[in-house]
Structure 1
Amino acid sequence: MTSPLPQRHPCPPGACDCGRERLADGPERRILWLTREEEKRLVERLENLRDLEDLQRLQSRLYEQLGIRVHIAPGFNEVRTMRGIVIELEAQLGLCRKTRQAIPAAIRRGLERNPQVAFRLLDAHDLLRDA
């Protein structure tokens, strides 16, 4: 007999706009597998990026396992700090408000800790080709 996968506890009423109650049974419910403990592990992993390939691998794993699409690109203006890099999560039912804030913040901290990853990201978008 297999036990069901643990699911995230619902947010208090009125505290979140995740739309958890509108999720239908099916593949979109996989976002509920991201428990608070797993979210802490994810944030820690995102803060300790090794290189650009590691970041891209984490992006693909987030989509494969939880359906979370993360887009990371240089902003429209000059990129002078890590705030100039735009990190967006696609809108998704069941994705908690706090998680939507924690993932980009963790990626930004990871880029600040390892600026070589940010430089490679900028280079991948051809911003440093003439430097």
Structure 2
Amino acid sequence: MSEHLPPFSFPIRTECPPGACVCERDRVLGDPQADHRPLALTRLQEQKLIERIERVDSYEDLRHVQALVRKNLGAELRIEPGPNEVRTVRGIIVVLEEKPGLCKKVRQSVPAAVRRRLGERPEIAYALLDAHDLFGSGPAG
């Protein structure tokens, strides 16, 4: 199907093998009104994003990466405490939302990179928990 791609001013991600992904790439390509930003995340750009996540050094920097993902991909990278007690990084929810054109592999690799970084830099995870007032730093009772 990808023989007649519309012209883009940026390189787009190559097609995944048939049946390997549910990104709806062809549907996005065929719709001129669709948000094409997710298609700009080539495998090289995905690797650069992973490397950027691996350099996150503070909660503010993590929030900046979330803003970059939102701006460049049009997708939310949600990072928040889970509904139960958070004892480890696994208790923190990290999800790159589904978006037409956004490869399933990316929706797995980006959250995995965030989790690894939170595990390497627990102070970022603590700041995340604190930002959600899980340490009870609100008014003393």
TM-score by length of 2: 0.86
Alignment of 1:24-39 (within 5 A): 24-26=31-33, 28-39=35-46
Q: Which residue of 2 aligns with 1:70?
A: 77
**How many pairs align?**
128
Q: Helix, strand or coil for the counterpart of 2:36?
A: helix
The match for 1:91 is 98
The aligned counterpart of 1:57 is 64
Structure 2 gap ranges (5+)? 1-7
- 1:8 maps to which of 1, 13, 35: 13
RMSD: 1.4
Paired-residue identity, %: 48
Write the distance in 2 (CA, Å) between the matches of 1:14 and 1:118: 36
Q: Could you list the per-position Cα deviations for residues 16-64 of structure 1 after superposition, in whole angstroms to 9, with x for gaps in the alignment?
A: 1111111122461111111101101101111221101101111011111
Structure (1 or 2) with the larger CA radius of gyration: 2
1:110 maps to which residue?
A: 117
Superposed structure 1 runs of 4+ greater than 6 Å apart: none
Cα distance in 1 for partners of 2:110, 2:33 equals 24
| Among 121, 129, 138, the residue aligned to 1:122 | 129
> AA paired with 1:81?
T
User: TM-score under structure 1 normalisation?
Assistant: 0.92
Amino acid at match of 2:21: C
Higher RCO structure (Cα 8 Å, ≥6 apart): 1
Q: Distance in 2 between matches of 1:99 and 1:72?
A: 16
For each residue in 1:47-95, what CA deviation from the matched residue of structure 2 results, as whole angstroms up to 9, or x when unmatched? Answer: 2211011011110111111112111110111111100000122221011
Residues 1:101 and 2:112 are matched in the alignment = no
**Superposed displacement of residue 4, structure 1:** 2.7
